[in-house]
Structure 1
Amino acid sequence: MMLDPLYGFVFFGLFSPGPNVILLTSSGARFGVRRTLPHLFGVVLGVGITAGLTGLGIAALLRQAPMLELALKIAASLWMLYMAWGLWTADRRRGKADRDRPMTLIEAALFQWVNPKVWAVALAAASAYPGLSGPWGEALRLGSAFSGINLGVCLFWTSAGALLTFLLTTPAAWRVFTRIMAVALASFSVMVFL
């Protein structure tokens, strides 16, 4: 039995660094795996829905409405800059860190709507590896492939972030880590327009 090449493409597309990888790694480091689980499951759900909508052809509709596409790009850029600022100013010390929290399931799922990397991977997957079924079958195929594969990807990056806490033992190390993650996330806010 031959494995659908879609799965390899989706794995490498989602595993490579992007906004979700940066945010989940940071959240794993700052809050641990257990507190990050709602964020993680929100990403898995949101990515699956986004990929499913791509299979239904919604991306083609967005491309037909340039003003809506521009509005989504601006929203994506501003949201990523807001999250990058949160990482830049994050403080691991007691008090301030206790008021901080990971993303909720709903916030993480909704973020996928403006996550340019997820849209790019979903569009590329839908066009490069089309299925033989109709739009609803394609939506189910893409949505389940993206969610299923992304669960493992998200667990890996969240766990990797949690393991980083053993290296980040000083306030200076935490500051360097969160600022590197913030700069990486902010760079994606610019890439939205490329």
Structure 2
Amino acid sequence: MTALFIFIFLGLFSPGPNVIMLTASGANFGMRKTLPHLFGVVLGVGIIGGVTGLGLGTILQAAPQLEFALKLIASGWILWMAFALLRSAKHHTPESEKPFTFAQAVLFQWVNPKVWAVAIAGAAYVTHLAPNSQAITLGLAFSGINLGVCLFWTYSGDLLSRLLKTDEAWFVFRIVMAVLLAATILLILG
């Protein structure tokens, strides 16, 4: 199990859409206002881990058209979010801008190919277990480990916001985050 936990940690901690969005949200809205987004990611990733253990990951691997469709949907959603980051160039966040909701964050995981890839690969560590045990083990491991990962990146964004004192600094930060977010599409489609 130690190897599984290390694999999940490395897979979820490395830059991807969730890490970049939580860091940006922590910086833009603060830790407290980002908590619904954070908990949505934690639950959504746990669900993906669980359903992978029940065999959905195998179905995705066997249906390349479905996997490609998920990649296209994720790429479109990520581009939309990157564009939204670019539009918000000022230090003071307009009232119309809000962090992801809990439901939006949970739903995003269903089209997040990085999470699916980590979950499918992680399932290889528990093939010796019955499907229900695989689902419970993966679901709990993904949620538990991801909670720490999400707290780290959100808090890092919150701390970073204290260094961004000028509108120019915020503008550069948002451009960098938008470009990094858009660049995750290369990982998704590659």
TM-score norm. by structure 2 comes to: 0.95
1:78–1:189: 8 Å Cα contact kept in structure 2? no
Q: 1:18 aligns with which of 12, 16, 20?
A: 16
Aligned to 1:172: 168
- The question of 1:151 aligning with 2:147 is answered yes
Aligned to 1:57: 55
Seq. identity, %: 56
User: Deviation at 1:136?
Assistant: 1.0
Aligned to 2:96: 99
Q: Which runs of 5+ in 1 are unaligned?
A: none
What amino acid sits opposite 1:126 in the alignment? Answer: A
Q: 1:163 aligns with which of 138, 159, 163?
A: 159
1:77–1:190: 8 Å Cα contact kept in structure 2? no
User: Deviation at 1:93?
Assistant: 4.5
1:46–1:110: 8 Å Cα contact kept in structure 2? yes
Distance (whole Å) between structure 2 residues aligned to residue 51 and residue 92 of structure 1? 38
What amino acid sits opposite 1:36 in the alignment? Answer: T
Q: 2:115 aligns with which of 94, 118, 140?
A: 118
Aligned to 2:31: 33
Distance (whole Å) between structure 1 residues aligned to residue 63 and residue 127 of structure 2? 26
- Count of residues in Structure 1 that have an aligned counterpart in Structure 2: 190
What amino acid sits opposite 2:11 in the alignment? Answer: G
Q: Does 37-46 or 48-57 show the bigger shift?
A: 48-57
- The question of 1:47 aligning with 2:42 is answered no
User: Deviation at 1:131?
Assistant: 4.8
What amino acid sits opposite 2:42 in the alignment? Answer: V
Distance (whole Å) between structure 1 residues aligned to residue 91 and residue 138 of structure 2? 42
Distance (whole Å) between structure 2 residues aligned to residue 31 and residue 41 of structure 1? 15
Distance (whole Å) between structure 2 residues aligned to residue 107 and residue 69 of structure 1? 21
User: Deviation at 1:189?
Assistant: 1.7
User: Deviation at 1:92?
Assistant: 3.4
2:49–2:142: 8 Å Cα contact kept in structure 1? yes
TM-score norm. by structure 1 comes to: 0.93
User: Deviation at 1:57?
Assistant: 1.2
Following TM superposition, the consecutive aligned residue runs of length 4 or more in structure 1 with deviations greater than 3 angstroms are 91-94
CA-atom RMSD, angstroms?
Answer: 1.3
2:38–2:105: 8 Å Cα contact kept in structure 1? yes
Q: Which runs of 5+ in 2 are unaligned?
A: none
What amino acid sits opposite 2:157 in the alignment? Answer: G
User: Deviation at 1:55?
Assistant: 0.8
**DSSP 3-state at the match of 1:99:** coil
